[in-house]
Amino acid sequence: MQAERKRKYIRRTFYTVAGLLMVILILQITFKVIVRISLPDVPDISIKDFDRITVGENAYKIGDNWVRKNKTGLWEMYLSGNPYELGLKNGILNSELISYQEKAFVNRIKELIPSEGYLRFLKYAVAWFNRNLDKFVPIENQQEIFGISQSADPAFDFIGDNYERILNYHAAHDIGHAMQNLNLVGCTSFGVWDEFTTDSSLLIGRNFDFYAGDEFAENKIVAFYHPETGFDFAMITWGGMTGVVSGMNREGLTVTLNAAKSAIPYSARTPVSIVARRILQYASNIDEACNIASSLETFVCETFLIGSAKDGFAALIEKTPDTTVLFKSPEHYLIATNHLQHPAFENQGENIENIKNETSVYRYNRVKELIEETGKFSYQNIASVLRDQKGLHDRNIGMGNEKAINQLICHHSVIFQPEAKLMWVSTSPYQLGQYVCYDLEKIFSEAANADITGEISNDSLTIFSDTFLFSREYQQYTKFRKEALSVNKNPEAFTTAAIDSLIPLNAEFYYTYELSGDFYDRLGDKDRSAYFYNFALSKEVSSASERNRIMNKLSKLKSDTRHRKTQ
């Protein structure tokens, strides 16, 4: 009898395990069948049809297309052809940059998410989320991305095949800013015209504060496109990226992106960088840009600041997953941070929360303050605003504060003068290096025959490096940043003396004192820890979520103290 029960138990266990394995196998097969992105149809062109020729150090050509590194460290690239050709040539010319960029991005993800198990889960979650992504990306953009993917590094095949990876990376901005809503780091943009500029022409400035690690920002590409259809355009990008985050076309139309607070999305739509690319390639004025934006579905909230030489002013296209509206400023200036401004969104929950709790309104008010103080702008004045690190009323709020226009994390900063077709692009670090000037009319007239061993920028209009870059304060900031990172990564290695020496490096920054509070909390010195947390709260804390985090640490200290006293 006992032997019979044992046999039944073994059979039940076997069938249970076999059933679970069968379910897992079915789920895996179902996942692979459903989560399959189809390759786009492309012209009969092979990667073998293009040979990359080395022209000089960091300078390469394919026919009359080229890429080269200029004297300031910016990469410059010229591409022409149909969508698939654009992608193929881009990939071949920039194969090393694409590999470098992917490595930097993956390393940053691993730094943020050190758990291998969670990374695997995230890989499948993103694949499931983006399972229909190709259905919302226009075919010509798919063809270009597929062309680039032919040169992607096979070392990253563990993430997915080349095409799926490069396509999915185009949605990384959208997924990233949706998932980081509790700590939204935002871009700042503004435009001025008529009585607010020295010659009445439109001027636009923007900081792209997308931080994916220092490595990710090292190899910026200023790309000049001569596509088979649409308008010639220029954009600031990086290896493998065909979408637009900042750019201007030959018609004098500009596009820049500002993320807005979004609900967590449940399925992919058109990445906002692809929407911006469509606008830049096919719109010549604000109405055309708005029509293109309205025709495409997105899965996050985004603001597109559109500047137009033909219209003579700038406007905002504010877009949510279900609404697209055009916002025009009642003044002859326009500011975009990270909240939606059109009355249509005044009751939207995420927007109300963003206005109340995040840095967007603070930065908006600081830009407005500087516009009114400056009065009339030249392109140099635009750079001064983009480099501003102070808080409202010129208050010192600490270096690196997210409430500053210049948060010292900028991937790139750019200035446009649309009517003159001039574009200034910042050089590293952040927006502190020179702004290099490009005359788009001249470049597109001469690019196919350019001597890429020389300079193609207009040196006479270069904006000089910020004096802050050569200051004692900048040296202190770089040391603070390094030390603060060390405290977070290896707190046990730090001493009281090291923490004391950290404070003078960035004495007005709330985070300096939060770090000090964390240090003394780990030592068990609750009184000193509470002192530093309270001191942090006396500074300009960047957001409600940051303030709440510090207050929760204080509450825990008090709770621990009460618990010890009752023992």
Residue 33 scores a pLDDT above 60: no
- 391 with 504, same domain: the answer is no
- For residue 347, tell me if it sits in a domain: yes
Q: In DSSP terms, which residues pair with 253 in a beta bridge?
A: 308
Quick one: pLDDT band at residue 376, thresholds 50, 70, 90?
Answer: very high
pLDDT of 110: 76
Over residues 497-537, the pLDDT tens digits come to 888 899 999 999 999 999 999 999 988 899 999 999 999 99
- 458 with 476, same domain: the answer is no
CATH code of residue 542: 1.25.40.10
Contacts of 126 (CB under 8 A, 6+ apart): 168, 175
Higher-pLDDT residue of 405 and 1 is 405
- 97 with 209, same domain: the answer is yes
Distance between CA atoms of residues 68 and 74, nearest Å: 8
What are the DSSP calls for 13-54, one per residue? HHHHHHHHHHHHHHHHHHHHHHS-PPPPP--S--GGG---EE
Characterize 161-195 residue by residue with b for buried, 16 or more Cβ atoms within 10 angstroms of its Cβ, and e for exposed: ebbbbbbbbbbbbbbebbeebeebbbbbbbbbbee
Nearest by Cα to 234 from 219, 218, 255: 255
Average pLDDT rounded to a whole number, residues 288-292:
98
- 377 with 460, same domain: the answer is yes
pLDDT of 181: 45
Higher-pLDDT residue of 177 and 363 is 363
- For residue 224, tell me if it sits in a domain: yes
Over residues 127-148, the pLDDT tens digits come to 766 777 888 999 999 999 999 9
- For residue 130, the enclosing domain spans 59-470
Poorest-confidence range of 8-17, 237-246, 415-424, 532-541? Answer: 8-17
pLDDT of 443: 97
Write out the E strands in 18-147.
Answer: 53-56, 59-62, 65-69, 75-81
- 135 with 25, same domain: the answer is no
pLDDT of 5: 56
Poorest-confidence range of 17-31, 158-172, 298-312, 331-345? Answer: 17-31
Percent of the chain scoring above 90 in pLDDT:
68
- 513 with 432, same domain: the answer is no
CATH code of residue 458: 3.60.60.30
Distance between CA atoms of residues 481 and 399, nearest Å: 10
State the pairing for strand pair 203-208/65-69. Answer: unpaired
Higher-pLDDT residue of 497 and 205 is 205
Poorest-confidence range of 218-222, 450-454, 491-495? Answer: 491-495
Quick one: pLDDT band at residue 32, thresholds 50, 70, 90?
Answer: very low
Quick one: pLDDT band at residue 212, thresholds 50, 70, 90?
Answer: confident
Length of the chain: 567
Record the tokens describing residue 255, joined without a space.
């596009």
pLDDT of 26: 37
pLDDT of 13: 56
Instruction: Count Cβ atoms below 10 Å from residue 67 Cβ, excluding itself.
Output: 25
- For residue 48, tell me if it sits in a domain: no
> What is the residue type of 207?
N
- For residue 9, tell me if it sits in a domain: yes
Reply yes or no: is the peptide bond before residue 418 cis, omega within 30 of 0: no
Contacts of 461 (CB under 8 A, 6+ apart): 379, 422, 424, 437
- 314 with 406, same domain: the answer is yes
- For residue 446, tell me if it sits in a domain: yes
- 453 with 318, same domain: the answer is yes
Residue 472 scores a pLDDT above 60: yes
Dihedral sign for Cα atoms in the order 132, 137, 138, 141: negative
Q: In DSSP terms, which residues pair with 542 in a beta bridge?
A: none
pLDDT of 161: 86
**What is the separation, in whole angstroms, between the first and last Cα of the chain?**
57
- 530 with 405, same domain: the answer is no
Quick one: pLDDT band at residue 6, thresholds 50, 70, 90?
Answer: low
Quick one: pLDDT band at residue 122, thresholds 50, 70, 90?
Answer: low
Distance between CA atoms of residues 313 and 319, nearest Å: 20
State the pairing for strand pair 246-249/203-208. Answer: unpaired
Q: What is the pTM of this model?
A: 0.90
Indicate the DSSP class of residue 377. B
Provide the number of structural domains found in the chain: 3
Residue 530: C-alpha distances to residues 165, 477, 495, 498 (Å): 46, 25, 18, 19
For tokens 């770090």, name the residue.
Answer: 515
Secondary structure of 418-466 as H, E, C letters: HHHCEEEEECCCCCCCCEEEEEHHHHHHHHHHCCCCCCCCCHHHCECCC
Q: In DSSP terms, which residues pair with 303 in a beta bridge?
A: 258, 318
Nearest by Cα to 201 from 308, 59, 283: 308
- For residue 41, tell me if it sits in a domain: no
- 484 with 449, same domain: the answer is no
- The residue among 470, 499, 534 that closes a domain is 470
SS3 138: coil
- For residue 54, tell me if it sits in a domain: no
Average pLDDT rounded to a whole number, residues 552-559:
88
Quick one: pLDDT band at residue 28, thresholds 50, 70, 90?
Answer: very low
- The residue among 437, 470, 503 that closes a domain is 470
Quick one: pLDDT band at residue 111, thresholds 50, 70, 90?
Answer: confident
Average pLDDT rounded to a whole number, residues 417-444:
97
- 22 with 79, same domain: the answer is no
CB burial of residue 342 (10 Å; 0-12, 13-18, 19+): middle
Poorest-confidence range of 11-15, 175-179, 228-232? Answer: 11-15
- 293 with 400, same domain: the answer is yes
Distance between CA atoms of residues 283 and 30, nearest Å: 41
Dihedral class, residue 302 (left if φ above 0, else alpha if ψ from -120 to 50, else beta): beta
Average pLDDT rounded to a whole number, residues 93-117:
84
Mean per-residue pLDDT over the chain, rounded:
88
- For residue 204, tell me if it sits in a domain: yes
Higher-pLDDT residue of 262 and 60 is 60
- The residue among 449, 470, 491 that closes a domain is 470
